[in-house]
Amino acid sequence: MRVAARIPFWVVVLLSLPLTAAFRDSTADEALDTVTQLKPNVSHGRDLFDTCAACHGNTGAGVSDGTVPAIAGQHFRVIVAAIIDFRNDNRLDPRMKHFTDEHHLSVAQDIADVATYVSRLAYNHVQLLERLQPSDIVGVSDYLSRLGP
C-alpha cells in the first residue's frame, strides 16, 4: 500500500500510454477486418459516394491544388483504413471525421460499399496530365531519355 502510494502519478500515466496505443490499434484492426470481410454492394456504394463527390469530385480526382486528395482507384483496403482512422481520430481532419461518422456511414457494410465503389473508379489520367507543368514534362522526357532503349 505504502509502495503504491509513493509511485508518482506521472509514472502511472507514462506506463499506461503504450497500453492505450495498443488498445486503439487493435480496435482499428478489428474494424478493418470486419469491413474487408463483407461482400460489397457497389450500387449502394455509388449512392453513398454522392456525399464524397461534393469534395473529392464526381470522378474522385480531388482538387488540383491538393487541398482535397484524389481517391479514385486507390486500393480498397487503403480507403477502408483511412475511413476507419478518421472515424476513430487516429487521423485528424474535421471534414472527413464528419462525413465518415455514423450518420453518414451508419454500419460497416456502408464503408465496404463506398470504399469498393471508390476503388473501382478509373484513375483520371487526363486530369493528371492537365496538372503537369511544362517543367515536369521536360523533366520526365529527360529521365526517359536517360533510361536508354
Name the site residues for ligand HEC (rule: CB under 6 A).
51-52, 54-56, 68-69, 71, 79, 82, 93, 95-96, 99-100, 104-105, 114, 118
Cell 469498393 belongs to which residue?
Answer: 116
Residue 23 CB, nearest distance to ligand HEC (Å)? 23
The identity of residue 51, as a single letter, is: T
Residue 84 CB, nearest distance to ligand HEC (Å)? 10
Nearer to ligand HEC, 55 or 108 (CB): 55
Residue 70, classed as helix, strand or coil, is coil
Nearer to ligand HEC, 51 or 59 (CB): 51
Nearer to ligand HEC, 15 or 111 (CB): 111
Residue 19 CB, nearest distance to ligand HEC (Å)? 27
Helix crossing, 108-120 with 9-36: angle to 10°? 60
Cell 529521365 belongs to which residue?
Answer: 143
Pairwise CA distance, residues 99 & 93, whole Å: 10
Pairwise CA distance, residues 111 & 78, whole Å: 12
Residue 49 CB, nearest distance to ligand HEC (Å)? 6
The identity of residue 5, as a single letter, is: A
